[in-house]
Amino acid sequence: MTQRSERSEDQSIRYVTIGCARERKARNKSSNVANPHPTGKTDCKARINALRVEGKMRITTVHNTHNHGLNLMKSRFFLCNREVSETVKRVLDTNDLASIRLNKSYGSLVVGAGGFENLPFLEKDCRNYIDKARHLRLGADGAGALRDYFMRMQYKNNGFFALMDLDDDGRLKNVFWADPHSRAAYQYFGDVVTFDITYLTNRYGMPFVLFVGVNHNGQSILLGAVLISSEDTETFTWLFQTWLQCMDGIALKAIIIDQDRAMKNAIATVFPETRHRLCM
């Protein structure tokens, strides 16, 4: 894993230290003495240092002695080596639509590959993919109904804003909308906005996001609403860029969110001048 690195002004890597993933000292992840959960760290000192010299990375130090056993067969468990191919994704999608349990689907893949050791992914990777695919699988009727509704609202009032984001297969990923009243309210009460993520208890399981402000009477007012398929930096970046498009390019002055790294990264990219604070 990359332990340390530094970039130059042109964002090129100046130096980097690549070390063993078990470098730190062992400690218990649980405070329960009767049920300790030790980390897999062994304070391993194996590492490689490299420095950029005349446009090329030059290795300066190599310490290749580990203080623990090594097993090349376990390298497939590293995240960088785990990949679910498009062929496997199609099989998982088909089986899921046919109500075949994931463990059964994964078991068939294991048999087809001739053993667990021959698969470049884990059951957890398959489960993560299916969870995300289900979020996107709103269906033609649901996506079509949303599109028709937005078209009717925009026909009634040009100030109604809505944008639907689709994936490469034409499935619905994210939806943003704001009515004329919300857009007008932002002009007056957009100094501080809270970005609230709750979860709908419907069969789609899509996170429902609200942009909320406070008016001069101390009342909460809705400024925009979103359905998103996942909570990663790419999704939040799309969302904030869409917000700017909706609000005529007027950036947020201050935003209050929960502690989410992906959201933090997106805010730094889209709203570099916005004051960013965490809620209690």
Per residue, what are the HEC states of 217-279?
CCCEEEEEEEECCCCCHHHHHHHHHHHHHHCCCCCCCEEEECCCHHHHHHHHHHCCCCEEEEC
Q: How far apart are CA 92 and CA 130, in angstroms?
A: 7
| pTM tops 0.75, yes or no | no
pLDDT at 201: 42
Average pLDDT value for residue range 104-111: 91
How confident is residue 208, by pLDDT bands cut at 50, 70 and 90?
A: confident
Nearest-angstrom CA–CA distance, 209 and 178: 12
Residue 231 to residue 147: CA distance in whole angstroms: 23
* pLDDT per residue as tens digits for the range 108-167: 999 998 888 888 888 888 888 887 776 655 555 667 778 888 999 999 988 999 998 877
Q: What confidence tens digit (pLDDT) does each residue in 76-94 have?
A: 777 777 888 888 888 988 8
Triad 132, 135, 138: Cα angle to 5°: 140
Backbone Cα Rg of the chain: 24
One-letter identity of residue 120: P
Q: Can you tell me the distance from the alpha carbon of 126 to that of 109, in angstroms, rounded to the nearest whole number?
A: 11
**Strand pairing report for 254-257 and 275-278:** parallel
Average pLDDT along the chain: 83
Residues in the chain, how many?
A: 280
Question: Looking at residue 246, what is its pLDDT?
Answer: 93
Q: How confident is the model at residue 176 (pLDDT cuts 50, 70, 90)?
A: very high
Would you say the C-alpha torsion 185, 189, 190, 192 has a positive or negative sign?
Answer: negative
DSSP 39-90: -S------EEEEEEETTEEEEEEEE---SS---GGGGGGSGGG----HHHHH
Are residues 22 and 41 in contact, defined by beta-carbon separation less than 8 angstroms?
yes
pLDDT tens-digit map of 27-42? 776 666 666 666 778 8
How far out from the chain centre does Cα 119 lie? 25
N-terminal to C-terminal alpha carbon distance within the chain: 34
Nearest to 117 by CA among 152, 54, 85, 74: 74
pLDDT exceeds 90 at position 183: yes
Residue 183, token pair as written in the block: 């857009």
